[in-house]
Amino acid sequence: MRKLIILKSLVDFIWIITCIPLLFLMGFFLVYMFVEPEALDIVFDEISFDKTIPNYIKQFFGLLFIIITSISVYCLFVFRKTLRYFQQVKPFHIDVINNFHKIGYMLCGIGIGGTLIAFASRILFKGEFIINLGITPYLVLTVLGLFFMVLSEVFKVAKHAKEENELTV
């Protein structure tokens, strides 16, 4: 139980210190990138923009970046909510199973979407065609998403076995 308290405390700390300010910054940046397109250089600092690329393409990639970041913040929010069920000693609650499944799909979407966005931005902005076969953060997110989906199925089977066992006794 002590490990659960430590995990919940760390997730809450990350939520308060990182995610809440990040939501306000993303809201500000969402408006500001359409008012001042040069602000996108903050997000894409490692990519040197070609001067011939129109601003609307840069803004589109900025919007995709904000969407992916928002989804990852929401994943952490759902994970916090799931940890509350574990603290209440309700690990087989239907919301826990649904939350794990939801987190899995979102993390897989972030991983695949991030890979496609990184690939497309390299082609558009740098003119490079690079396929990375190593371990990337997007691959790790996809694997983590698949893990959460498998965890959801395991909890579903365990819940069914628990209910069947309670009916037998």
The domain ranges of the chain are 2-168
CA-to-CA distance for 21 and 33, rounded, in angstroms? 18
Give 75's contacts (C-beta < 8 A, 6+ positions apart): 103, 106, 107, 110
**Which secondary structure element, helix H or strand E, spans residue 21, and what is its range?**
helix 20-35
Task: Give 53's DSSP letter.
Answer: S
> What confidence score (pLDDT) does residue 132 get?
79
- Classify residue 42 by burial, with Cβ atoms within 10 Å: 0-12, 13-18, 19+: exposed
Report the distance separating Cα 31 and Cα 24, nearest Å.
Answer: 11
* pTM as predicted: 0.86
Straight-line distance from the first to the last Cα atom of the chain, in angstroms, rounded to the nearest whole number: 28
pLDDT value, residue 44: 63
What is the Cα–Cα distance from 49 to 160, expressed in whole angstroms? 54
Chain-centre distance for alpha carbon 139 = 12
- 54 Ramachandran zone, left/alpha/beta (phi>0; psi -120 to 50): beta
- Write out the chain's pLDDT in tens, 169 residues: 789 999 999 999 999 999 999 999 999 988 888 888 777 776 666 555 556 777 788 888 889 989 999 999 999 999 999 999 999 999 999 999 999 999 999 999 999 999 998 888 888 877 788 887 888 899 999 999 999 999 999 999 999 988 888 877 5
Tokens of 126: 């740098």
Q: What is the pLDDT of residue 83?
A: 94
Q: Distance between CA 163 and CA 165 in Å, rounded?
A: 5
